[in-house]
Structure 1
């Protein structure tokens, strides 16, 4: 995952592996469904932006085979480095600042990345520049402002506490430059950038064990920031984590909007 200065969910923090695993469980099927529609196959050259974990790059590597190439980039490559074997190449790279790590890509993909990048416009230009004519771009990002709740059915104190902490998370993200309404802008931004055949859809998990695992990992990572900012107490957070662990609450995530298009 790329980050702005002071990125809230740093890859070096404890619990990041649980967050990667939960995100993969939740979002990989949607990502892979879109990539399959593009006809990805042997020999494709792919750039995975802000790779974070290994699930997507490993899937891409199987699809493109030994004649293909998968460039996996991130500011922090500590987690994806374990996948660095042909056809995967791992590079430290900041998509919002640096030039693309090559050109002529058949596919460029970023998931839950650009919402956190300070120069999102530059990052998007860089990704499109790296495509070959006819190459595909798939950008998938959250839109927490579109659906701001953790518990859609706020019927009791446990759900009210959960939603208060989710509001705290949104406040912290906003303070660090995240665009909490970025996902909905993607179709327009891709069209304005000159891509053809732009389409988009959204995936909106309402409840699942992976949602609970993601929430637990996220809250543990931002505990100190929530307390320092006066958004919650340690007692609030302990109570919420116990509620999540009980399995008795329906926990949602922000919608992930997937937008794709073709370079003319």
Structure 2
């Protein structure tokens, strides 16, 4: 996933690979359903922004075929490089700071990216401008403020602790510039950016083994910051991880809001 300078979940940490695998297990099927819905086809040129792991780029490569192009970018490509096979180009790129790669593109997709980018408004404009006329932008971002509890069924002390730690995690994200209510704004933002045929939906896993894996990896990745900020003690974190790994919690994700739209063919572009 792309990251601003202060991005909390550093891709260079060992837990990042575990998180990417869990995110793929949770959300790839929904993402691929949206790709099918917007009509990704052979010969398309696609830009996967903040690719993180290789799974989405690999799916696009199979769909666009040898006549297409898939560009997978991230600020840290150490986990994305597994996708660098024939038909997939991997490029280090910061969507919040760098000039856009050569386009235009038939499809641009960003999942769990813009919510973390401080310059997200400018980044969104860059993505829209990188579309060919008629091209599709699909942006998928979580909205933690819409459903803030990782344990919606808060019936006991273990669930209360999990939700308190999640509250601390959200505080850390806000300190790093994340917009925790960004997902709900996506339909309006895509329309205001000039896209047409805008639609959106949401996906919300509430119990899954992948949710457990994601939570354990995330907490391990940010435990030092949680302790340093006084948001949790080491003992509380160990107790929570034990509950997660014992399978005693019904863990949810934040709602993943997917919004998509097309660049009008008559917008004056010469691309």
TM bucket, shorter chain: over 0.9
Deviation at 1:5, TM superposition (A): 2.1
Rounded to whole Å, the distance in 1 between the matches of 2:82 and 2:20 is 14
Rounded to whole Å, the distance in 2 between the matches of 1:240 and 1:82 is 32
Q: Secondary structure at the match of 2:179?
A: coil
Q: Secondary structure at the match of 1:141?
A: strand
Is 1:215 the counterpart of 2:229? The answer is no
Unaligned runs of 5+ in 2: 265-271
Deviation at 1:99, TM superposition (A): 1.8
Is 1:120 the counterpart of 2:120? The answer is yes
Aligned to 2:267: none
Contact 2:110 2:138 in 1 (8 A): yes
Q: Deviations over 1:95-136 (max 9, x none)?
A: 111221112210000000000001001110111111000000
Aligned to 1:50: 50
Aligned to 1:141: 141
Aligned to 2:204: 204
Q: Which moved more, 1:254-263 or 1:36-45?
A: 36-45
The normalised TM-score by structure 1 is 0.99
Deviation at 1:212, TM superposition (A): 0.6
Aligned to 1:160: 160
RMSD between superposed Cα atoms in Å: 0.7
Contact 2:55 2:83 in 1 (8 A): no
Contact 2:197 2:262 in 1 (8 A): yes
Q: Secondary structure at the match of 1:73?
A: strand
Aligned to 1:257: 257
Rounded to whole Å, the distance in 2 between the matches of 1:253 and 1:42 is 33
Q: Deviations over 1:180-203 (max 9, x none)?
A: 000000000000011000000000
Rounded to whole Å, the distance in 2 between the matches of 1:15 and 1:262 is 36
The normalised TM-score by structure 2 is 0.96
Aligned to 1:91: 91
Unaligned runs of 5+ in 1: none
Rounded to whole Å, the distance in 2 between the matches of 1:29 and 1:85 is 22
Q: Secondary structure at the match of 2:243?
A: helix
Contact 1:103 1:129 in 2 (8 A): no
Aligned to 1:78: 78
Rounded to whole Å, the distance in 1 between the matches of 2:242 and 2:136 is 43
Deviation at 1:42, TM superposition (A): 1.1
Q: Which moved more, 1:99-108 or 1:45-54?
A: 99-108
Task: Work out the number of aligned pairs and report it.
Answer: 264
Q: Which stretches of structure 1, 4 residues or longer, exceed 2 Å deviation after superposition? A: none
Rounded to whole Å, the distance in 1 between the matches of 2:36 and 2:97 is 30
Is 1:129 the counterpart of 2:129? The answer is yes
Aligned to 1:101: 101
Q: Secondary structure at the match of 2:251?
A: coil
Contact 1:95 1:123 in 2 (8 A): yes
Q: Secondary structure at the match of 1:199?
A: strand
Deviation at 1:24, TM superposition (A): 0.2
